[in-house]
Structure 1
Amino acid sequence: MVRRILLVVIPASLYFFSHFHRVNMNVIADDLMNDFMASATLIGLLSSMYFYFYAFIQIPIGTLNDTVGPGRTMFLFSILSILGVIIFALSTNIYVAMIGRILIGIGVGAYWVSGLKLFSEWVGGENYASVSGMLASSGYLGAIAATIPFAYMVLLLGWRAALILIAIIMIIPTLTCWFIAKPAGNRKDGKSTVRLVDIGHVLRDEGFLLLSFWMIFNYSSAMVYQGIWGIPYIMQIYGLDKALASGILMLAPISGFLCAPIFGFVSDRILHDRRKVIVFATTLNITSWILLTLRTNSLSIFELYLVSALTGASISAIPISFTIIKERYPSRIYGTVSGIYNMLPFVSAALYQPITGYILDSFKHDNIYPVQAYRFMYLFLLVSNIIALISSILIKTRK
């Protein structure tokens, strides 16, 4: 019983930090621009290092999960993430900070796919979406911690000391990974065989391609707002301080935290239809971009909170898409396939952050980003999400 509890708690504890580091740049973006004398484009590039290398490592992590096991994989990569946080916190220039950000992206890149692989070995199919939703919720808790709580940590300690403290806290769940390092009972020698021909069939499958398009365009647009430009936008256009802007953004992960298990339960127990949940979630994201595009500088405080809630809820359906993958493909290659699938949105998110930074810089005047800069950026995100919606409508959940 204790080990089964650890099988859920440990991956969830680690995945908390995956989301924390994914979006904490939102809080310290202004500090980094001042300390490193960097432009929005360069800070966008720095932030994107997480996504590039998170994406790059997904296929190797998926293969390691299918061969050496998810427990050992999480332990080794978590050590890298802690090292990356320390390097980032102690960096004297933006190039050293990039090295730290790269190691963070590589290290935390193991948590989600390894957790899902672990659950696939121990959790029945009728509960898989629900348990995956719980794992996702732990990530949203991390994103919540990266808003107001982290903002106050930065105000109290400074951004460098705050990150060092986070690195120390990460050591605890990392060490406990050894408790779940033993292979599951259905993997007698802890090894599995991944055939390239199977992966080739997956990559040519129409269902996988549609899911990938949905994931890429839905997730990347949300991460632009939640991960880097949401707080600067609210502070600059509405004149609010960082604490209040962080509070508004905090509603995004709170919404995701609440909606992820609900979407999983509805998918497993009520609708028994994964696609309908994904389509509904995508329409929430589109609604937020319509509001931000048409009323960039005229939203009420309530509407700013609403936008954050909608973007958070929209990406909380992502665990449902991994459930579709689990149901479509053989379990022996699930780790590798989910690694490939999980790689794609992070490549696109890495591209979106400097691209949107460039859009903002294109309108920059006297070191200020005007309303039209943000409006054009949100229009770009709206078009992206329309593509995501079309893809979600065409998805077929089973072969």
Structure 2
Amino acid sequence: MDADQTTPRLSGVAVFFYVFLPFALGHYLSSLLRNVNAVLAPQLVGALALTPGQLGLLTSAFFFAFALVQLPVGIALDRYGPRKVQLVLMFLAASGAWMFGHGHSFAQLVVARAIIGLGLGGCFMSAVKAISIWISPKKLPSVQGYLIAVGGLGAASSTMPVRALLQHTDWRGLFILLAVLSACSGLLIWLVSPRSKPQGGKAPTVRSVLDVYRTPAFRNTISLVLLPHAVFFGIQGLWIGRWLSDVARFPESAVAYLLYMGMASVIFGAIAVGMITEWAGRRGIRSLDVAAVGVALFVIVQALLVIGYKPSLQTLSVLFTLVGTITGIEYAIVAQSLPRELTGRAATCLNLLIFIGAFLVQAGFGQVVGFWRPDLLGHYPAQAYRVAFGVLVLLQLPGLIRYYLDFLRRRRPVKCGIALLAEKEEYEIGTLRSPR
């Protein structure tokens, strides 16, 4: 079939096997590569004698490159479709992983990590775009929840499974294997996923992408969820593991296990978020209201990290990841509020902001911790992490406060309107019942 022809409407089973699974595999690998440095950090620090600032910069190079590629990828997705775009990007990611496995200096690894980020920059967007072509907007929250759950599975695979694999190879061999898997993923998408008709007409411009930022629904969503989402990505992918090692003083095996439990909780958290959002929608509760409750809980967990809630540091590390999955709801909120032909650009705008934020969070967190001196075993003091987490909490509070002030303003006229409507109905009923 020619690539420009329109594919007949697919059944639900066909969408699952030919659309969801191939693109979800790419998202799985993206999450694995994004988070794998949390487990590999001791090996990387030992091999290259990295400081916390260098470790943060090395790992966050993924986020910077990921953000850098968002605008061109979003335009390409709406113009050429996810099938063609993903083939090119997955091969680029494979080349970056191959370079990382053969790198021997800090600069080489930073460049290789950035190339991985460039290649994986379209995985989630492509999946969202492909799924939105074949399913109704009402089902987007739950299906995207399943997609995020697959990402959680990839994140979980970056912990204990990677640690087990390191018993048979080193971190270099691991990245060479991931390079091969990334290339195979791109080929699978090209061979299996259905061809869809290109958008046609004039190619989307950067200005048309920036127009998404001007929509009220987009602005309201990012003002509440953007910073928590950046914190979730930036801390989950590196620093929660270092916190378990330096503050809680768990050995590497225990850290890997707790990271696995946290990453695995993303699977259940993402599915639960999708189900709760749909349940709330049927009862007239906005998705943004659901997100606000989740963000508030997420900030509370971080506040407990600041004060050093000692009875259960293990539980806090898992709760950080579990509750943090609520931040992924902003993709569904924006996708529901914009026309279908803009979904690629909308996801682009979100990813651009989220991953720039994650880069700043991950690199900045390392710089703050680096102000303190490590002990003889290389552990940084708890005070360093408390200050770093405290800064993150303070940055997220304004968005929550703004939302709840807007919520109170919205509730006030609604109550007045209901009262006036009740008085009107009571008057009309009384008039009908009065004798003529």
Provide the TM-score with structure 2 as the length reference.
0.83
Distance 1:196 1:45, change over 3 A: closer
Question: Could you tell me whether the CA contact under 8 Å between 2:280 and 2:287 is conserved in 1?
Answer: no
1:35-54 aligned within 5 A: 35-54=47-66
Map Cα deviations across residues 199-247 of structure 1 (whole Å, 9 max, x no partner).
Answer: 4443223432232233331022223431112222212223221111121
What is the Cα deviation at residue 359 of structure 1?
Answer: 0.8
Identity of aligned residues (%): 22
Matched, 1:221 2:234: no
Residue of structure 2 equivalent to 1:276:
289
Structure-2 separation of matches of 1:236 and 1:192: 54
Structure-1 separation of matches of 2:200 and 2:260: 40
| Aligned with residue 292 of structure 1, among 305, 314, 326 | 305
Residue of structure 2 equivalent to 1:307:
316
Matched, 1:390 2:401: yes
| Aligned with residue 60 of structure 1, among 65, 72, 91 | 72
| Aligned with residue 376 of structure 1, among 379, 387, 392 | 387
Q: 5+ residue gaps in structure 2?
A: 1-10, 411-436
| Aligned with residue 101 of structure 2, among 79, 86, 89 | 89
Matched, 1:99 2:108: no
What is the Cα deviation at residue 188 of structure 1?
Answer: 6.0
Which deviates further from its counterpart, 197-206 or 228-237? 197-206
Distance 1:330 1:232, change over 3 A: same
Structure-2 separation of matches of 1:200 and 1:93: 38
Q: CA RMSD in A?
A: 2.2
Structure-1 separation of matches of 2:394 and 2:359: 18
Which deviates further from its counterpart, 102-111 or 365-374? 365-374
Question: Could you tell me whether the CA contact under 8 Å between 1:260 and 1:316 is conserved in 2?
Answer: yes
Distance 1:223 1:188, change over 3 A: closer
Question: Could you tell me whether the CA contact under 8 Å between 2:212 and 2:345 is conserved in 1?
Answer: no
Residue of structure 2 equivalent to 1:346:
355
Provide the TM-score with structure 1 as the length reference.
0.91
Distance 1:315 1:63, change over 3 A: farther
| Aligned with residue 194 of structure 1, among 204, 212, 236 | 204
Structure-1 separation of matches of 2:205 and 2:294: 34
Structure 1 residue matching 2:44: 3-state secondary structure: helix
Q: 5+ residue gaps in structure 1?
A: none
1:136-215 aligned within 5 A: 136-180=148-192, 182-184=194-196, 187=197, 193-194=203-204, 198-215=208-225
Structure-2 separation of matches of 1:269 and 1:233: 36
Question: Could you tell me whether the CA contact under 8 Å between 1:70 and 1:181 is conserved in 2?
Answer: no
Structure-2 separation of matches of 1:45 and 1:198: 32
Distance 1:109 1:189, change over 3 A: closer
Residue of structure 1 equivalent to 2:416:
none
Question: Could you tell me whether the CA contact under 8 Å between 2:373 and 2:380 is conserved in 1?
Answer: yes
Residue of structure 1 equivalent to 2:427:
none
Distance 1:392 1:20, change over 3 A: farther
Residue of structure 2 equivalent to 1:241:
251
